[in-house]
Amino acid sequence: MSAMRFFVNSILACFALAASMATGSLLQAAEPAPQPEAASLTTPEQRLDALFLDLKKERDENKARELADRIRLEWQESGSATVNLLMQSADKAIADDKKPVALDILDQVIVLAPSYVEGWNRRATVHYQMGNYRKSMSDIYRVLAIEPRHFGAIAGMATMLETAGKNELAMRAWQQFLDIYPSDRKAQEQFGELAERLAGSRT
């Protein structure tokens, strides 16, 4: 299989996975219950569900950004002091431009905590920064398998698709992003630019 075909197939698999998980979430939410404040909820899953519900409804850009930051904080907490320490070491290696070292550390994180979404997401980011798009996309697939609402991973996927000239798929990715985080200005602009570009290419 060629690298480009693998790349596109991985993207399609990401879309299918996220769509199927989103459908499952909608079915589970068929009988909505009153939503308490996120801060009063006890489990990470409950807090995230409440925060994502608020993020989808929030139209004020600044308030939405605060909600997105709270979601990122929830994702960063691994529940393991060892994993948290390794993530700090990986971040330092990235800041010091020692990306191979960061990858080694993140490999350890993933072995220790394979269901920890930020381990996969951070490694996807480092692979992208190093130009390893195939490996980055593979890690994004794992991110979305754990958390299909991960807007950061979806944005990375959209960026790689556009770089590869797959504008229609990139637009679909930004639409998926906006379904989760509708008030993000950059995503709105990227989606609009791609829509205009595609419309112009069809005339």
In sequence order, which ranges of the chain are alpha helices (DSSP H)? 3-28, 44-57, 61-76, 81-95, 99-112, 117-129, 133-146, 151-163, 167-180, 185-201
pLDDT at 26: 34
Q: Residue holding tokens 């993530």? A: 87
pLDDT at 41: 64
Tens digit of each residue's pLDDT (9 = 90 or more) over 24-47? 433 333 334 445 555 566 798 999
Question: What distance in Å separates the CA atoms of residue 105 and residue 158, rounded to the nearest whole number?
Answer: 26
Q: Is a pLDDT exceeding 80 seen at residue 139?
A: yes
pLDDT at 32: 44
pLDDT at 203: 62
Residue 92 is encoded by which pair of tokens?
Answer: 């330092």
Question: What distance in Å separates the CA atoms of residue 105 and residue 198, rounded to the nearest whole number?
Answer: 41
pLDDT at 27: 34
3-state DSSP assignment of residue 39: helix
pLDDT at 39: 54
Q: Residue holding tokens 């004020």? A: 60
The amino acid present at 110, given as its one-letter code, is I
Tens digit of each residue's pLDDT (9 = 90 or more) over 96-134? 999 999 999 999 999 999 999 999 999 999 999 999 999
pTM of the model: 0.81
Question: What distance in Å separates the CA atoms of residue 150 and residue 134, rounded to the nearest whole number?
Answer: 19
Burial of 23: CB neighbours in 10 Å, binned 0-12, 13-18, 19+ = exposed
Cβ–Cβ < 8 Å for 181, 59 = no
Tens digit of each residue's pLDDT (9 = 90 or more) over 55-96? 999 999 999 999 999 999 999 999 999 999 999 999 999 999
pLDDT at 185: 96
pLDDT at 200: 84
pLDDT at 125: 97
- The helix-helix angle for 151-163 and 185-201 (nearest 10°) equals 30
Q: Is a pLDDT exceeding 60 seen at residue 8?
A: no
Cβ–Cβ < 8 Å for 150, 117 = yes
Q: Which CATH number fits domain 45-52+59-201: 1.25.40.10, 1.10.150.120, 3.30.1360.120, 1.10.260.30?
A: 1.25.40.10
C-alpha 50: how far from chain center: 18
C-alpha 36: how far from chain center: 25
Q: Residue holding tokens 């197939």? A: 9
Question: What distance in Å separates the CA atoms of residue 9 and residue 40, rounded to the nearest whole number?
Answer: 41
